[in-house]
Chains A and B, each alone.
Chain A
Amino acid sequence: MTEAALKTLIEITAGVTLAVPVGRLDFEASTGFQQAIEQAIAGAGASAVVVDCAQLEYVSSAGLRVFLIGARAAKQANVRFSVCGLVEAVRRVFVVSGFDKLIVEHPDRAAALAALQ
């Protein structure tokens, strides 16, 4: 059995749920990532979800769709949703697709958490 290309770690810091994808987010990994994001949004008392992408190496078209699904679900649940720490390759996908116009982005985790205080 091969190791999953993406793991998503969930951390809770100062009332903020952090989702930390580690690896490559492509079609095969997108279902698992979507479940993790949906659970983070639905998590008890979550008022804000930050996806810390510092360890996300790659995102494909299918992976990008999960970010849109997550941002939409968060807005509908009245949960603030943002991303931080985008590496250059992932940032390029966000910019070219236009997703950067829809979502709040911070340079790193500290900036994302500070913005939520």
Chain B
Amino acid sequence: MIGLVEELVLLAIEDDGAIAHTAGSVGFGMSLIGAALVELSNRGRIDADLDSLRVMSREPTDHPVLDRVLQLLVIEETLTVEQWVLRLASETPELVRLALKSLVGRGVLEQTESRFLWVLRSRRYPVIDGREQKEAKLRILSTLLGEDLPTPHDTVLLGLARAGGLLEAFLTSAEIARLEGRMEQVSGIDLFVRGVESAIREDQVERARAMMLPMY
């Protein structure tokens, strides 16, 4: 069984093994950090409320991404989940690399390399049998199309996939629009996901503000 971090990374792998362009977005990176925080919370390493994130145990989890994030949660001041997500955003490439390595190590993905225009190296991660990727998509679809209340795992997976722009990989814009009402109700019922969403909004505001600054 794979965890939330790997599920999100798998959702960003396209049919040909290429990593979707969304995986390079700030939203995806922050969602991945959110997934790691939720898993650390599930394992009793951290807990959070609206005002702060608290580290309860520094015992390693034996999961490379979670342990890297836990190591970075150095409490020198009280920060909210949103502030931690913003602070850790620069770590995304390393976290993605660790997650891909873990998935390759577990036989879920394989790593292939090829040359593009004979010079540029291109790395792909074809999915080996696709079961885990299909399961992640099915969990999201059954949450969206069903009438039951979601499990904590499924509401978080949907919320983070939505925040990270990953739904577009397997749902059309019309389907997303049609499911918007249900999505609003059952997506991301979790304080870590809300922290990720706030961090993404804050980042967008900062970028917009930077673009408005005079050039001279």
Indicate if the CB atoms of A97 and B194 lie closer than 8 Å.
yes
Q: Does B50 make an interface contact (CB < 8 A)?
A: yes
Most chain B CB neighbours (cut-off 10 Å) among A58, A65, A76: A65
Q: A27-B56, A97-B191, A102-B185 are in contact. Are A75 and B149 (CB under 8 A)?
A: yes
Q: A65-B190, A97-B191, A98-B188 are in contact. Are A72 and B149 (CB under 8 A)?
A: yes
Indicate if the CB atoms of B189 and A26 lie closer than 8 Å.
no
Q: A27-B47, A27-B56, A97-B194 are in contact. Are A76 and B185 (CB under 8 A)?
A: no
Q: A97-B189, A98-B188, A98-B189 are in contact. Are A60 and B48 (CB under 8 A)?
A: yes
Query: Which of under 10, 10 to 19, 20 to 34, or 35 or more describes the interface residues of B?
Result: 20 to 34
Measured between alpha carbons, how far is A2 from B157 in the docked complex, in Å?
36
Indicate if the CB atoms of B190 and A75 lie closer than 8 Å.
no
Indicate if the CB atoms of A75 and B148 lie closer than 8 Å.
yes
Indicate if the CB atoms of B41 and A61 lie closer than 8 Å.
yes
Q: Does B206 make an interface contact (CB < 8 A)?
A: no
A43-74 at interface with B (beta carbon < 8 Å): 58-62, 64-65, 68-69, 71-72
- B interface residues (Cβ-Cβ under 8 A, vs A): 41, 44, 47-50, 56, 148-152, 155, 184-192, 194
